[in-house]
Amino acid sequence: MNLFGQVKYLVGKDIRLEWRSKYALNGMLLYVVSTVFVCYQAFKKLDPITWNVLFWIILLFASINTIARSFVHEGQGRQLYYYTLVSAQAVIISKIVYNVLLMLLLSAVAFFVYSIIFKHQLGDPLLYLVSVLLGALGFASIFTMVSAISSKATNSGTLMAILSFPVIIPLLLFLIKLSKNAMDGLDRSVSYNEVIVLVAINLITISISLLLFPYLWRD
């Protein structure tokens, strides 16, 4: 099987696993909804800057919780089994693709619930959706690699947070800036710079992950 076929098969396998157990998927969606509701109870009313930042903070914690388990929930034995069957690149690409899909679903649900509960007028909804899309991509690609690293250690939960927060900050800052521009309905030419930087960060992290994962995997 070539690389593309392997990736397709592994992504299909991950989706099927998720669909069969369901508790993880439902738990994750419920996590987002209840976090938004807790914030609603605590804040009641938000000014525009807080509205934007709070959305990204909720999404950040939801995605860390979701992606942290992407390598832990499969045992060492099964990892070894994959190792004999497919190439390392196929495994990391399939995990990134799967996490991107998961994050798209998660951020769509989060955005929907969030904008229903906290009503707010968006200046440029399309650009805001682009920023959410880029955010889902970036969170998925960075957290997948960090979760692969932290899954090798003993107390991986704490380590996941320690390792990923500093790494995610540049991405988060650019996302907040881009989505703020979209919220204020500024002219799109103002935001090109941010979009380019975000795409560049995503490309860099994905290519570094592809280069480094084979070393991480060989245990």
Partner 1 sequence: MRSFWWKALGTILVLYSVIAGLLGPVPVLPIVHESIRTLYYHLPMWFSMFLMYGISVVYSIKYLSSGKEEYDLMAVESINVGIVFCFFGLISGSFWASVTWGDPWPSDPKLNGSAIATLMYLAYLVLRSSLNEEQKRAKISAIYNIFAFPIMIVLMYILPKLTDSLHPASGGNGGFGQFDLDNSMRLVLYPGIIGWMLLALWMLSIRYRYRIILFQKNQ
Q: Could you list the residues that contact partner 1 (CB under 8 A)? A: 145-146, 149-150, 152-155, 159, 162-163, 165-167, 169-170, 173, 193, 197, 201, 204, 208-209, 212, 215-216, 219
Q: How far is the CB of 142 from partner 1 (least distance, A)?
A: 9
Q: How far is the CB of 34 from partner 1 (least distance, A)?
A: 29
- Residue 3 or 169 with smaller CB distance to partner 1: 169
Q: How far is the CB of 210 from partner 1 (least distance, A)?
A: 12
Q: Which residues of 1-23 are buried (b: 16+ CB within 10 A; e: fewer)?
A: eeeeebbeebbeebeeebeeeee
Q: How far is the CB of 168 from partner 1 (least distance, A)?
A: 9
- Residue 157 or 185 with smaller CB distance to partner 1: 157
- Helix/strand/coil for 71: coil
Angle subtended by helix axes 23-43 and 3-21, to nearest 10: 70
Specify the DSSP element, H or E, that contains 140: helix 125-150
- Residue 35 or 179 with smaller CB distance to partner 1: 179
Read off the tokens for 101: 């899909």
- Helix/strand/coil for 77: helix
* Residues 75, 174: Cα–Cα separation, whole Å: 36
Q: How far is the CB of 28 from partner 1 (least distance, A)?
A: 25
- Which residue carries 């979760």 as its tokens? 147
- Residue 16 or 184 with smaller CB distance to partner 1: 184
Residue 13: name the closest of 74, 65, 84 by CA: 74
- Residue 17 or 169 with smaller CB distance to partner 1: 169
